[in-house]
Structures are given as structure tokens and as C-alpha cells.
Amino acid sequence: MAEVIEAEARALSTIAADLRGAAGSRWCAALDLLEGCEGHVVVSGMGKSGLVGMKVSATLASLGQPSHFIHPAEALHGDLGRLRKGDVALLMSYSGETAELVDLALHLKADGVARVGISARQTTALARLCDAHVAIGDIVEACPLNLAPTASTTAMVAVGDAIALALARRRDFRADDFHRHHPGGLLGAGLRPITEVLRFKVGANLQVVRDAASVREALAQAGEDRRSGAILLVDSSGRLSGIFTDGDLRRLVHQGDAGWLDGPIAKVMTARPMCLTVEAVVRDAVRLVQDRRVDEVPVVDLDGKPIGMVDVQDLIALRVVES
């Protein structure tokens, strides 16, 4: 099995080396054409290349470029109507000689639809019919018979990913743009602004207490009916200075000396706790909870004043961390 992985890795290394050389200009030409697309990037390929094309089309769409897949044989039997002059066709065939795809390229050329091709060499029939073409070179398949598409399809996936991500970078595609395209699932939840998921909010169901108070006073001010697992402490300017958790309280109780109750909470709180700002997203909270093993994370505004707190139970409810 290791030989298969090594064969595919060699194919990718060769493509990367070519991209850094003279082939780079051809990649740029392809990107220029795709960047100017005013409609959809319509991806097409036959067989295994078609399956790769479906994945590439999905990646383009997820990164902000409208895209759909069209089967080359179906295109020649009525589905050509799915393409318009503002579209760009991304045609994938390792051999570059697949009859159905070459025929499709020929018809698209006659219809004035821009074409980007991906095949093995610049001399293939597909390459000659495209406005821009990326050659991935002659690849030795991982298959012992050098027949089953393996290393070549891996290379096609990598080239498609590289093109999609380079296009997104050119268009300054950002995390909030990505979130709009992935509102569901773990990806969507992780990119939600932290302020959207705050259950405990200062002024509503979360009290802040001056760090000059005693533990007894802080517990009283926080309220007997508080449901959060911590008290947020602030300095004289209202900025977050510490946190006092239920775990801290239990540890003090177990010490057996009640003198701490009337002592300053500043001495037993966790000073300068790890926190998030209002610009954070849910995945930032997940990292803190998982990496630092904390259950409560304060959220502050850009002046350092607390506005709320994320509890690990909230993240469990969002299914972004496990209980």
C-alpha cells in the first residue's frame, strides 16, 4: 500500500515543480479566464475524470464561484442549453483525447463559450480546442498495470483544488464569505460569530462584580439564582480582570477554613483569564476549551469590558465539542 501513496505523491511533486517553472504562466492564463467568468464555471469530464470534476465543481461553489457539473455525453444530447456565453467551461480529461469531451469542446468553441482544459500534455486534442490549458504531464499510475486511474486522478483533484483556492484568493474570499456558503454542519457552526451563541449576557443573566469585593459580597452580588458557572470580575474601569468559577469555590470549601469568605476575591480569582473578543467565532472558543481545558470563556468588547460568557455546555449543544 505504501507504494501506491508514494506513486501518487511523486505525481503531485512533479506538478508542483512544473508550476514553479515555465508552466506557471499557463496556470495564470487559466486563472485569468476563470476570474473573468460572469456566469457559472461548468465542469465536465468522462468516467473517473467526471467524478473528479464533480468534486472540483463543488469546491468552486463552496468558495464563492457558482458552478455545476455537466456530463459530456448528456451535453451533446440536449444539455448544451445549460451553458451560456458568460460561462466558462472547465474540461477535464487526463488523456485529452476522450471523444465525448473533445466533441463538447468543439461545440462550445463554435458557440463562443470560453474553455479551460486540463489534460496530460499541451499537444492533446483537448488542449488545442481550449482558450487556456493546464498540462499535468505524463503520470505513471499507482496501478501495477499502469492502467487504473489512480495517480492521475489524484493529480486532477489537486490541480482542481489549486485552481479553486487560487481563484478564491484572487477574489479576497474570507471566512465570513465561507460561512455564508456553509451555514449548516460543523463548518457552519464553527464560523458563526461568538456573539450569536452567547447564552450568558452581561446585563441580562450574567452579573459582573468589582474585583475589590470580598468573596461573600461577590457571591451575593452575582445572585442566588445565577446559572452560569462563573463570576466575571472587573477593575475600576470596568475591564475584565479575573474570573471566579464554581470549581474555585469548591476548592476553597474543601480547604476547611471559612476565613476566605470575607477575604478579597482578587486573591482567589484567576487573574487575567483567557478570553475572546466580540470579533471571535465559535471555533475560537472550541480551541480554547479543548487546548486549555477550561469550561467558561469570557467574551469582551474591544475595550476589554465583558459582554458575556461562553460555557462548554453551549458548545456541546452546538455539537462542536463532545461532552
pLDDT digits (tens, 9 = 90+) for 256-271: 666 788 889 999 998 9
Whether residues 115 and 163 share a domain: the answer is yes
- The closest of 124, 112, 118 to 84, measured between CA atoms, is 112
Distances (CA, A) of 160 to 41, 168, 263, 317: 12, 12, 64, 36
- pLDDT more than 70, % of the chain: 93
Mean pLDDT lowest among 150-164, 167-181, 196-210, 238-252 = 167-181
Q: Is residue 186 part of a domain?
A: no
Whether residues 101 and 135 share a domain: the answer is yes
Q: Is residue 238 part of a domain?
A: yes
Check residue 321 and give its pLDDT: 67
* Percent of the chain that is helix, strand, coil (3-state, to 5): 45, 20, 35
Check residue 183 and give its pLDDT: 58
The label of the residue with cell 480546442 reads: 129
Q: Is residue 299 part of a domain?
A: yes
Whether residues 97 and 200 share a domain: the answer is no
Whether residues 206 and 148 share a domain: the answer is no
Domain that holds residue 103: 2-173
Total tally of structural domains belonging to the chain = 2
Region label for 2, one of left (φ > 0), alpha (ψ between -120 and 50) or beta (otherwise) = alpha
Of the three residues 173, 203, 224, the one that is the final residue of a domain is: 173
Check residue 312 and give its pLDDT: 84
Q: Is residue 183 part of a domain?
A: no
